[in-house]
Amino acid sequence: MPFHLHFGEADLLRFRFAVSPLWETQEAVRTLARPERHGYHLPWLRRIRSAAEGLELAPLQLLMPMRGHTPDFLGPPPLGPAAPFEEEIAAVRATDPAAARDDMAKALACTPGAADSPTGRALLADPPRAVRELAELMERAWRALIEPDWPRLRALLEADVAFHSRRLAEVGIEGLLTELHPSLTWNDGTLTLTKTSEHVRVLDGQGLVLVPSVFSWPDVVSGFDPPWQPTVAYPARGIASLWTEAGARTPEALARLLGRARADVLCALGEPAGTTALAHLLGLAPSSVSAHLSALRDAGLLTSRRYGHQVLYERTPLGIALAGSHPGAVRLSGQGGLSAGRSD
């Protein structure tokens, strides 16, 4: 059944992108329990297995039903275009306990028996304590699962925003929204998602927040109820090569031509990225990466532009041709399953 977001004239002018470390944390916790989400993240899953086993994720995962509602307060619409995790988790801790109880009860009702389980009863019996403990658990999950890779993840997400911001200028809102995922359609001011239950939201001048996500793949997630701002989280571009090691990206012939390190830098740019993210990905000093980027740009293989707090580099047509068809060049547009209405 369809999910409809109805735009008015004012909503078309209140259209923004945002990157959210809290959202990635929530979706990473969900991904651990969803085998259908594992495909592109197996290297990450193998690496964080020990850290994940040290976390007690059951209370969070109980509130993340396979289909249905996930509490909005655990992953609310981002506060700004690039709010730090500390600001986002502070907002979670400030949740009104009564509102949190209603939110949790709605989520628990989506899984038979969840509300009557010991964990479910404890969450509903003491909402202030539940908010504190869930926020603490979410912060521990951030530290263990996401923070070590955040420079890499943030670079990919910001590159997605930069790409789609350009597409917005080129094809307009209708063209952009229908490119984000094959299950999104636009007709006469209404954005429609396919989902398992019907839901209608009139934006009423609040506009729409678009949130690219690494760990929500392959789902599109929406359905925030008032007072939350209408939001759509969609699979970010480029996750197919996100966890690819540098050595697997670089053809030997190119390494002989440019030198191994410089060729690795060129081939790592399957999506635009900044110096810090590339250094983290390649295990090189930022100063070395910066020198390689400058040389590649001077040779006409890269272009650079400022986005937010950093400079992003991307390959020119000549750079793409030299890098050839290797894993770092693969781009993923988010094809796959769909989940909407804050459900998976």
Average pLDDT rounded to a whole number, residues 240-261: 79
pLDDT of residue 297: 94
Q: Do the Cβ atoms of 241 and 330 come closer than 8 Å?
A: yes
Query: Could you tell me if residue 319 is inside a domain?
Result: yes
Q: Is the per-residue pLDDT at 306 higher than 90?
A: no
Of the chain, the end-to-end C-alpha distance in Å amounts to: 15
CA distances from 267 to 108, 278, 290 (A): 46, 11, 15
Q: Do 133 and 192 reside in the same domain of the chain?
A: yes
Residues 24 and 155 placed together within one structural domain of the fold: yes
Same domain, residue pair 100 and 230: yes
Mean pLDDT of 56-76: 90
Look at residue 242 and tell me if it is in a domain: no
Average pLDDT, the chain: 85
Residue 89 lies in a domain: yes
- Do 122 and 38 share a structural domain? yes
Q: pLDDT tens digits for 138-185?
A: 999 999 999 999 988 888 888 888 888 888 888 888 888 888 888 888
263-295 per-position pLDDT tens digit: 999 988 877 788 887 887 787 888 999 999 999
Backbone angles phi, psi at 68, to 5 degrees: 125, -155
30 assigned to some structural domain: yes
Specify if 241 maps to a domain: no
Domain check: are 266 and 225 in the same one? no
Residues 17 and 162 placed together within one structural domain of the fold = yes
Q: 201 and 88: one domain?
A: yes
Q: Is the pLDDT of residue 135 over 60?
A: yes
Residue ending a domain, among 235, 263, 292, is 235
Q: Identify whether residues 189 and 99 lie together within a single domain.
A: yes
- Residue 195 banded pLDDT, cuts 50, 70, 90: low
Better pLDDT: 218 or 310: 218
The pLDDT of residue 27 is 94
The residue out of 169, 204, 235 marking a domain boundary is 235
pLDDT bin (cut points 50, 70, 90) of residue 331 is very low
One-letter amino acid of 99:
A
On whether both 276 and 155 belong to a single domain, the answer is no
Return the ∠ at Cα 253 (arms to 249 and 259), rounded to 5°.
80
The residue among 71, 80, 89 whose CA lies nearest residue 19 is 80
Question: What is the domain extent for residue 56?
Answer: 2-75+84-235
pLDDT in tens, 69-121: 899 999 888 888 888 999 999 999 999 999 999 999 999 999 999 999 999 99
277 and 199 in a common domain = no
Q: Is residue 240 part of a domain?
A: no
pLDDT at 340: 42
* pLDDT for residue 247 is more than 60: no
The number of folded domains in the chain is: 2
pLDDT digits (tens, 9 = 90+) for 14-47: 888 999 999 999 999 999 988 888 888 988 999 9
| Token pair in block for residue 236 | 């970010």
Supply the pTM of this predicted model: 0.78
Whole-number Å distance between alpha carbons of 280 and 283:
5
Strand partners, 213: 235
Q: Report how far apart, in Å, the C-alpha atoms of 20 and of each of 150, 183, 277 are.
A: 11, 23, 17
For residues 37 and 171, state if they share a domain: yes
User: Please, which pLDDT band fits residue 317 given cuts at 50, 70 and 90?
Assistant: confident
> Do 146 and 11 reside in the same domain of the chain?
yes
Number of helices followed by number of strands (H, E) in the chain: 14, 9
Looking at 235, 261, 295, the residue that finishes a domain is 235
- Look at residue 230 and tell me if it is in a domain: yes
What's residue 39's pLDDT? 82
**CATH code of the domain containing 256:** 1.10.10.10
